[in-house]
């Protein structure tokens, strides 16, 4: 291979150039090239030497085994916070051990940590919360809370904290109860094992009322489901009312109210409080005690003060009577206040119903016929009759004056003689009449010319 003079010259020149001193840069000698048609160039040679890298993050140095070159792109997210690599500060924070599963070891080599987080089993997590656990390895919860009706009230609120539910299942507290928790006082009872006929009458077990008749002897009046005896006998009480039994007595559980000894009462007309031995035969009204010698009639109005020493069963007032007013013959009940034209009262002692004054008749025959033909209160003719002498007298005795009102009979009405249907036995042309406000009776000729009052009974 033939070399040109130019190439040979440059090669010799380079070979003869001085070596670079690492401490001091030198300029290469100037050379020229002749011939060959070239142009000689003059220049210098930079002989500066780069130092070895000695600091993290250094640049313009020579990497070595201690300080190797590092790619810094995305490096900060790969280095723990508080550490610097290749001049780049790390921003990685490790989770606390309580947030890392117990099976996982993590962290920098040599300083790793072991997680302490334990994920609950599926049976301890509400099914309504959905899958839980590490993403991609989640578990499906299976815990279902019972309804409030299935949790005893004694257990208190239950459920997730802060959203607890109050239970409603209470302990059984009544015989025959259902939907409750049986306890010692109210245990479960199998109903198929017994019936009402297996339970003593008057007793209820598990909600079943007993009907069995026991052999227990009756020991009180009106008692039921017991064995009758010579003292406590069976009694048919159908249609029996309190006014069918004497006051102070009872029969078949019915307490009597019938008063058989109605007596006069006391008013301000006469009252003497001193010793009975000094009782005067003159008018007296200054006393305050109610003694039997102070009793009066009802002429001035119904006497309302019972003799203190006498039982209340001797005092017959308006409570002895019942308003049985009707306008249609008994089909519909009314009242004396609402239907005064048909006002009727029943004497609870005699069961006799009386009208108000229906007419005034001048002779006895007209009085008898007035009642016999009356349709008072909507009843058919023939229902009513003229009362007997003793019936009129019993009305006074039983306190008819206590019924005084504008709707029935006024006190003026009762201060009259009332025809009776009773003939005087030793003089058949004469008949008895009764003065209601006094209670006295007398007789008069049947063809009496002065009108007497007529009231009817049924």
**Separation of alpha carbons 443 and 433, rounded Å:** 6
pLDDT score, position 22: 46
pLDDT score, position 10: 41
Torsion, CA 239, CA 243, CA 245, CA 247, rounded to 10: 160
pLDDT score, position 213: 66
* Matching residue, tokens 């003292």: 231
Measuring CA to CA, how many Å separate 346 from each of 252, 418, 458? Answer: 25, 18, 9
405, two tokens: 């009102």
* Matching residue, tokens 């009332």: 418
Cβ burial, residue 28 (10 Å; 0-12/13-18/19+): middle
pLDDT score, position 28: 46
> Which residues face 204 on adjacent strands?
209
Task: Indicate the SS3 state at residue 259.
Answer: coil
Sign of CA dihedral 170, 176, 182, 186: positive
φ, ψ for residue 443, nearest 5 deg: -125, 155
Cβ burial, residue 177 (10 Å; 0-12/13-18/19+): middle
**Separation of alpha carbons 380 and 410, rounded Å:** 27
422, two tokens: 């009773």
Q: How many Cβ atoms from other residues are within 10 Å of residue 386's Cβ?
A: 25
Task: Indicate the SS3 state at residue 17.
Answer: coil
**Separation of alpha carbons 45 and 122, rounded Å:** 79
Left if phi > 0, otherwise alpha if psi is -120 to 50, otherwise beta: which for 143? beta
pLDDT score, position 13: 41
Q: How many Cβ atoms from other residues are within 10 Å of residue 256's Cβ?
A: 19
Sequence-separated (6 or more) residues with CB below 8 Å from residue 266: 290, 291, 294, 295, 296, 303, 305, 306, 307
Domain segments of the chain as ranges:
145-212, 316-454
**Separation of alpha carbons 92 and 280, rounded Å:** 128
**Separation of alpha carbons 65 and 40, rounded Å:** 44
Sequence-separated (6 or more) residues with CB below 8 Å from residue 255: 242, 245, 249
**Separation of alpha carbons 269 and 283, rounded Å:** 8
**Separation of alpha carbons 72 and 59, rounded Å:** 12
Which parts of the chain sit beneath pLDDT 50?
Answer: 1-3, 5-15, 17, 19-34
pLDDT score, position 382: 98
| pTM given for the model | 0.54
pLDDT score, position 49: 85
Closest by alpha carbon to 381, among 329, 327, 346, 324?
Answer: 329
Q: What is the DSSP letter of 167?
A: -
Measuring CA to CA, how many Å separate 223 from each of 205, 234, 252, 255, 340? Answer: 20, 10, 8, 13, 43
Contact predicate 349/314, CB 8 Å: no
Closest by alpha carbon to 337, among 351, 348, 323, 347?
Answer: 323
pLDDT score, position 151: 83
Cβ burial, residue 160 (10 Å; 0-12/13-18/19+): exposed
**Separation of alpha carbons 43 and 297, rounded Å:** 169
Task: List, for residues 59-111, the tens digit of each pLDDT value.
Answer: 889 989 888 888 889 888 888 888 888 888 888 888 888 888 887 888 877 67
**Separation of alpha carbons 141 and 161, rounded Å:** 18
453: part of which helix (H) or strand (E)? Answer: strand 452-454
pLDDT score, position 162: 55
- Alpha-helical (H) ranges within 103-237 are none
Q: What is the DSSP letter of 306?
A: -
Task: List, for residues 370-396, the tens digit of each pLDDT value.
Answer: 999 999 999 999 999 999 999 999 999
Task: List, for residues 290-332, the tens digit of each pLDDT value.
Answer: 999 999 999 999 999 999 999 999 999 999 999 999 999 999 9
φ, ψ for residue 120, nearest 5 deg: -65, 155
329, two tokens: 């013959």
* Matching residue, tokens 């007997």: 388
């Amino acid at each position: 291979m033939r070399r040109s003079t130019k190439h040979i010259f440059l090669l010799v020149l380079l070979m003869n150039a001085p070596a670079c001193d690492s401490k001091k840069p030198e300029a290469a000698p100037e050379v020229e090239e002749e011939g060959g048609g070239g142009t000689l160039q003059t220049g210098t040679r930079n002989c500066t030497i780069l130092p070895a890298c000695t600091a993290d993050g250094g640049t313009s140095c020579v990497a070595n085994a201690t300080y190797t070159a590092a790619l810094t792109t995305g490096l900060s997210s790969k280095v723990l916070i508080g550490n610097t690599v290749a001049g780049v500060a790390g921003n990685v924070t490790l989770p606390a051990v309580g947030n890392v599963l117990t099976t996982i070891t993590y962290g920098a080599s040599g300083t790793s940590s072991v997680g302490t987080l334990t994920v609950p089993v599926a049976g301890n997590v509400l099914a309504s919360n959905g899958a839980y656990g590490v993403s991609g390895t989640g578990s499906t919860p299976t815990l279902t809370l019972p309804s409030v009706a299935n949790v005893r009230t004694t257990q208190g609120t239950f459920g997730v904290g802060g959203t607890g539910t109050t239970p409603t299942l209470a302990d059984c507290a009544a015989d025959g109860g259902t939907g409750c928790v049986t306890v010692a006082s109210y245990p479960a009872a199998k109903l198929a094992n017994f019936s009402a006929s297996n339970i003593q009458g008057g007793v209820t077990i598990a909600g079943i009322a007993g009907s069995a008749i026991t052999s227990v002897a009756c020991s009180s009046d009106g008692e039921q489901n017991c064995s009758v005896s010579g003292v406590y006998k069976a009694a048919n009480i159908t249609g029996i009312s309190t006014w069918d039994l004497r006051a102070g007595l009872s029969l078949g559980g019915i307490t009597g109210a019938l008063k058989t000894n109605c007596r006069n009462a006391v008013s301000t007309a006469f009252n003497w409080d001193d010793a009975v031995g000094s009782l005067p035969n003159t008018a007296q009204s200054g006393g305050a005690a109610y003694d039997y010698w102070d009793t009066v009639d009802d002429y001035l109005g119904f006497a309302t003060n019972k003799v203190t020493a006498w039982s209340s069963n001797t005092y017959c007032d308006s409570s002895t009577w019942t308003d049985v007013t009707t306008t249609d013959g008994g089909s519909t009940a009314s009242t004396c206040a609402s239907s005064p034209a048909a006002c009727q009262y029943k004497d609870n002692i005699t069961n006799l119903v009386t009208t108000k004054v229906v007419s005034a008749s001048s002779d006895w025959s007209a009085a008898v016929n007035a009642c016999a033909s009356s349709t008072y209160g909507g009843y058919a003719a023939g229902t009513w009759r003229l009362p007997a002498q003793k019936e009129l007298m019993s009305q006074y005795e039983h306190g008819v004056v206590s019924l005084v009102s504008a709707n029935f009979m006024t006190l003026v009405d009762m201060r009259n003689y009332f025809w009776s249907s009773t003939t005087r036995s030793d003089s058949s042309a004469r008949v008895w009449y009764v003065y209601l406000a006094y209670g006295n009776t007398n007789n008069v000729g049947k063809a009496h010319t002065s009108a007497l009052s007529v009231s009817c009974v049924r």
